[in-house]
Structure 1
Amino acid sequence: MSKLRILAALTVSTSLLVSGCTSSDEPSAVEPTTTTPSSGSIRTDDVQAALDAMVDAGSVAAVAQVRDGEDSWSGAAGLVERDGTEAASAENPVRIASVTKAMVAAVVLQLVDEGKLELDQQVDELRPGLLPRPVTVRQLLDHTSGVPDYLTGFDTADQIAARANDSVKDDELIAQALAMPWTTEPGSEFVYSNTNYAILGRIIAEQDGKSIGQSLQDRIFDPLEMTDSTYPTDSTLDADALHGYVVENGNYTDVTEYDASIWSSGAAVVSTVADMNTFFRGLFDGTLIPQNLIDEMQVVNPTGYGLGLLLAIDACNPGSGELVFGNRGNGFGYSTLAFASPDGERQVALSWTSTAPDPATDPLFQYANAALIAGLTSTCPA
């Protein structure tokens, strides 16, 4: 699914709320647990109703956290595991997929701030011989490089499940992509490619002298006390993680255990909705990078993608042009939306655990988008 089409789905007001189709084989809903009373003025009834609607529409679980300044609320609906009885909690870890890209972009911007690289520096200066065409760091970050996407050939639930135990190296993924035709000339057009962030991971490792997972731990997770966030190197998740399912023709395939190497630096992180909110607040309030680089990240190209960030119209003032920034993660069995006001004060992070093989045809997205809008609206000034 192109990020432009995702943007079109996100940058709308509550008029998007429409009824959708439900799965013919949906799990039974349970009463949500670990829903915390709002610590302040957040109006949460509509958010919880939206989570319940996602489970009624076929997701095994849906979890969210909403924050407005120091006020917060978290909620959940559904089950940890489809065949189990344990109710889902907002504290359960999930695979956050491409929300990882915002974290990797933050590390790149830290390296820029430290003078170790430049946004408009060519990759060949940093990793000689890695790419056959002149591509800059900025073009990798905003998906205008033209580099093909290695993440192809995952069109059905069977194809996805068949690759669950595959362990691959970043250089293999990059080589696989470079064997394909380039999508565009570098800098000419936006074309989303996970390979861009696999390459950025290699650049970070070269400049930081450690693996991308260790860089994220040292530069992002530890300073922000994101204790529930990891960059896994194998297929296992913590025992309390929500299970993820690929849904096709009413059949649910459990893909919880999946070798993380296929996601590389663009999508491998496991986290919680609370930690994602903590990250975007720390990113936008100046804790991680200075304001001039925050501004660089939040300058978006015509398709609505910045440096590791998507934009959406703020639901509080849909006609004003005010924006929120964050990202969307489309993983196998897991999807995520996490957005914040430009200063990081108002935030919504949402994850759900049942996905279609093709995100473009996933019937749950309209319900997730409604939950995102409900979360943003719940923090609107009275």
Structure 2
Amino acid sequence: MSKLRVLAALTVSTSLLVSGCTSSDEPSAVETTTTTPPSGTIRTDDVQAALDALVDAGSVAAVAQVRDGEDSWSGAAGSVERGGTEPASADDPVRIASVTKAMVAAVVLQLVDEGKVQLDQPVDEMLPGLLPKPVTVRQLLDHTSGIPDYLVGFDSAEQIAARANDAVTDDELIAQALAMPWTSEPGQGFSYSNTNYVLLGKIAADLDGQSVGQSLQDRIFDPLQMTDTTYPTDAVIADDALHGYVLENGTYTDVTEYDASVWSSGAAVISTVADVNTFFRGLFDGTLLPQNLVDEMQVVSPSGYGLGLLLGGDACNPGSGELVFGNRGNGFGYRTFQFSSPDGERQVSLAWTTAAPNPAADPLEQPATEALIAGLASTCPA
């Protein structure tokens, strides 16, 4: 199957949205930091400037790691917590939200490689009687199942904060989704739904004989030595994690401690920008999967989504049809971008710690996209 050469919208206006992003009680200024010096041919000045601009636009912190082959650079701007004096570091953990989906997809594809499941196998064969319509594993992976998204009712900072301690089961999340109208018949259209990956987590757990979190640890985190990456099932987060904030009407609400069960296998992972890059390199260079399955993941629909992956246009060759692959995470108080060249050699991983309740109307989206583009462009051949 050939890849559809679809370019995602990675270009934005050059003007950064800097107004209306801070409240009247300004936090103490913190010097920006660079955690590692530039190496090799990576051109880092524009990347650091973009991280600084993202903080100037209202994010409490912004961190990134860029890799080009064996060369790498890590940078940070802002502070660990709002009003604090400890500068942020690219080594600090963050909630990576839906970048988790690529990791869960890799587990499922490993199970495919082992002959335990097939991409076009009906879900009903593994979870009998759970779904009222015929859905396949592939349709869960690429969001064409039509299953509703359970993640509703988080439309304001107040609503988000009010549910920080709510513990829910996967079965409850699925039941909530199935009580809603389906977005389409299975296979008839793209509709992003976190429920798809909760179901994939259940399938993986059944086939692997252990929790999806343990499968991630055994199959992904340990083999790649992702020592700063965890799959939490409660509100616990490392003491050195960057704090996450919901920004609404100039007010910052700290949502760092949040019960991860609401994210489940669609978005629960905590990691660092370096570990996220390590994952995607291990995915694309054949360490985790054979090339035929990597190719399968990188086949995308007109929506821009593949199997657990999102594609974008390569900043080095704009308009050429050259692609990068990765994913983006829209979490409560945390946002993440990661994109790599198809072979995993050129990479940028970016995280920032302030987000609007509605990602589609987030004033920090534009400066964050500028930082992503700067990261990709920093690895372009001179």
Q: TM-score, normalised by structure 1?
A: 0.96
* Partner amino acid, structure 1, of 2:353: T
Partner Cα distance (1:160, 1:8) in 2: 29
Aligned pairs for 1:127-142 (under 5 A) are 127-142=127-142
Matches for 1:149-168 after TM superposition, within 5 Å: 149-168=149-168
**Superposed, which structure 2 residues align to 1:203-242 within 5 Å?**
203-242=203-242
User: Shift of the alpha carbon at 1:360?
Assistant: 0.6
Aligned residue in 1 for 2:22: 24
Asked if the contact 1:28/1:56 (under 8 Å) is kept, the reply is no
1:4 paired residue number: none
CA displacement 1:205-227 (0-9 Å, x = unmatched): 00000001000000000000000
Aligned to 2:72: 72
Counterpart code for 1:265: S
* CA deviation map 1:92-134 (0-9, x unaligned): 0000000000000000000000000000000001111121100
- The CA distance in 1 between the partners of 2:31 and 2:56, in whole Å, is 12
Alignment of structure 1 residues 86-165 onto 2, 5 Å:
86-165=86-165
Runs of 4+ that moved beyond 6 A: none
What amino acid maps onto 2:217 in structure 1?
A: Q
For residues 241 and 261 of structure 1, what CA distance do their matches in structure 2 show?
Answer: 19
SS in 2 for 1:329: strand
Amino acid at match of 1:300: V
Shift of 1:8: 4.8
Give the match for residue 41 of structure 2: 41
In 1: Cα distance, 2:108 partner to 2:193 partner: 17
**Deviation, structure 1 residue 27:** 4.0
- Could you say what secondary structure the match of 1:64 adopts? strand
Which range moved further: 296-305 or 29-38? Answer: 29-38
Deviations 1:358-377 (A, max 9, x none): 00110101001000000000
1:52 partner amino acid: D
Structure 1, unpaired ranges of 5+: 1-6
3-state SS of paired residue (1:294)? helix
Q: 1:85 corresponds to which residue?
A: 85
Aligned amino acid, residue 315 of structure 2: A
Question: 1:186-231, CA deviations, whole angstroms, 9 ceiling, x for partnerless residues?
Answer: 0000000000000000000000000010000000000000000000
Q: For 1:20 and 1:201, how far apart are their aligned partners in 2?
A: 38
Q: Does 1:380 align with 2:345?
A: no
**Greater mean alpha carbon deviation, residues 36-45 or residues 137-146:** 36-45
* CA 34–43 in structure 1, closer or farther in 2 if over 3 Å, else same: closer
Alpha-carbon contact 1:27-1:59 (below 8 Å) kept: no
What residue in structure 1 maps to residue 3 of structure 2?
A: none
Asked whether 1:347 is paired with 2:352, we answer no
Give the letter aligned to residue 335 of structure 1. Answer: R
CA distance in structure 1 between the aligned counterparts of 2:188 and 2:231, rounded to whole angstroms: 32
- Cα-to-partner distance string for 1:259-301 (whole Å, 9 max, x where unaligned): 0000010000000000000000000000000000000000000
Secondary structure at 2:9's aligned position in 1? helix
Partner in structure 2 of residue 317 of structure 1: 317
* Structure 2 Cα separation of the partners of residues 161 and 331 of structure 1: 13
Distance (whole Å) between structure 1 residues aligned to residue 35 and residue 162 of structure 2: 36
CA contact (8 A) 2:167 2:262 kept: yes
Quote the residue 2:56 is aligned against. Answer: 56
8 Å contact from structure 1 (residues 61, 80) kept in 2: yes
Give me the whole-angstrom Cα distance separating, in 2, the residues matched to 1:142 and 1:327.
12
- TM-fit CA distance, 1:36: 1.4
| Deviation of 1:329 (Å) | 0.1
Distance 1:49 1:28, change over 3 A: farther
Q: Which amino acid aligns with 1:233?
A: T
Aligned residues: 373
> Once the two structures are superposed, what CA deviation does each residue of 1:216-263 show, in whole Å capped at 9, x if it has no partner?
000000000000000011102110000000000000000000000000
One-letter amino acid matched to 2:285: D
Aligned equivalent of 1:3? none
Distance 1:380 1:28, change over 3 A: farther
Distance in 2 separating the partners of 1:176 and 1:315: 40
- Matched with 1:256 is 256
**Aligned partners of 1:240 and 1:17: how far apart in 2?**
34
Question: SS of 1:88's equivalent?
Answer: coil
Q: Cα deviations across residues 16-68 of structure 1 (Å, max 9, x unaligned)?
A: 32232331326454222243111211000000000000000000000000000
Q: Which runs of 5+ in 2 are unaligned?
A: 1-6
Aligned to 1:297: 297
The normalised TM-score by structure 2 is 0.96
- Distance in 1 of aligned mates of 2:9 and 2:247: 21
SS of residue paired to 1:311:
strand
- One-letter identity of the residue aligned with 2:104: V
Matched ranges for 1:185-196 at <5 A: 185-196=185-196
The answer to whether the Cα contact below 8 Å between 1:146 and 1:189 also exists between their aligned partners in 2 is yes
Q: Percent identity?
A: 79
**Using a 3 Å threshold, how does the CA distance of structure 1 residues 20 and 32 change in structure 2: closer, same or farther?**
same
SS in structure 1 opposite 2:294?
Answer: helix
Is 1:333 matched with 2:333?
yes
Equivalent-residue separation in structure 1 for 2:114 and 2:44 (angstroms)? 41
**Who is 1:184 aligned against?**
184
